[in-house]
Amino acid sequence: MPTDALPALVALAGPTASGKSAAALLLAQALDAEIVSVDSALVYRGMDIGTAKPSAAERALVPHHLIDIRDPAQAYSAAEFAQDARRLIDAIRGRGRPVVLAGGTMLYFKALFEGLAEMPAADAQVRAEIERQAERAGWPALHAELAAIDAPTAARLAPHDAQRIQRALEVYRLTGRPLSQVHRAAAREPALRPDRWLSLEPADRGWLHERIAQRFDAMLAAGFLDEVRALRARGDLHPALPSMRCVGYRQAWEALDGLWPLDSVRERGIAATRQLAKRQLTWLRSLPQRQVIACDAPDAQAQVLRAAGVDR
């Protein structure tokens, strides 16, 4: 196939454990492309096992970007990602190479392709009041409060998703407008469009659940708990940080804090990962422009290549 017929920008999304990393690596090699990670956990240094970060050998095969760019004590926003990703896309294209955007952080994709609403700055007083409410009544009660004022936002959040429930309530209390309304008001034509939008989604949800369990078991066997112990030993990290709220890390931290038995990390980590996958799939299914590839098909990787226009 002539090189001018190949896509210059491919977006490859999917839920956790759907095989995105392997498919992205294969696709990038076939296209002679570079990979820009769309993953809010991979940005953090020292968080390798629990994020299933691409190995050094894999990263040596194909250039990977936006991995290991922040210390776990630092925050990294969707707006920062969009700015960094646009800069990288321009630079990679300037080198005459295609770009594969690969990951499962759907807010990052939204920020890049649609932009983000102008949001009010965090207000410490309002946040403190919401936290006091949560201590008294629990986050499910605040989730119910959110559902009464902003049903669309509440519907996509788990009742214990403290960080996002807090932010949605904060926005409402500061602006008097539901977060979903703020987002709709800011909708505009995407500043950037991928040539291909590919989505790895399971035909059989049970297959994905089994993959999630297998991967979590592999992480535990590779020393995941020791990785979390090392992060805790630094002394400057705490469970409210975005890095430590990543799936798996939060459950391990709480168990090491004594909130749960240590042997419950596997069960709680797998359950949290399944909930994450469910939210990712819900978001993906709201995107009619995506081309779905069954990640549980025996030839899923070959289908990704064909969908991207790469002859095999």
**What is the percentage of the chain residues whose pLDDT exceeds 90?**
77
Mean of pLDDT values over 29-55:
97
pLDDT digits (tens, 9 = 90+) for 261-286: 999 999 999 999 999 999 999 999 99
Q: What's the pLDDT score for residue 182?
A: 77
Q: What's the pLDDT score for residue 186?
A: 54
* Residue 180 pLDDT grade (very low, low, confident, very high; cuts 50, 70, 90): confident
Task: Using alpha carbons, list the distances in angstroms from residue 48 to 65, 131, 211, 225, 273.
Answer: 15, 31, 19, 12, 16
If we measure between CA atoms, which residue out of 260, 248, 255, 240 comes closest to residue 224?
248
Structure-token pair, residue 214? 């297998």
Q: What's the pLDDT score for residue 294?
A: 98
Structure-token pair, residue 245? 């709220």
pLDDT digits (tens, 9 = 90+) for 199-229: 999 999 999 999 999 999 999 999 999 999 9
Q: Three-state SS for 37?
A: strand
Q: What's the pLDDT score for residue 312?
A: 53
pLDDT digits (tens, 9 = 90+) for 79-136: 899 999 999 999 999 999 999 999 999 999 999 998 877 777 788 888 999 999 999 9
Cα–Cα distance for residue pair 12/108, rounded to 1 Å: 13
Is the pTM higher than 0.85? Answer: no
Q: What's the pLDDT score for residue 52?
A: 96
The owner of tokens 């001018």 is 4
DSSP annotation string for 94-108: HTT--EEEEES-HHH
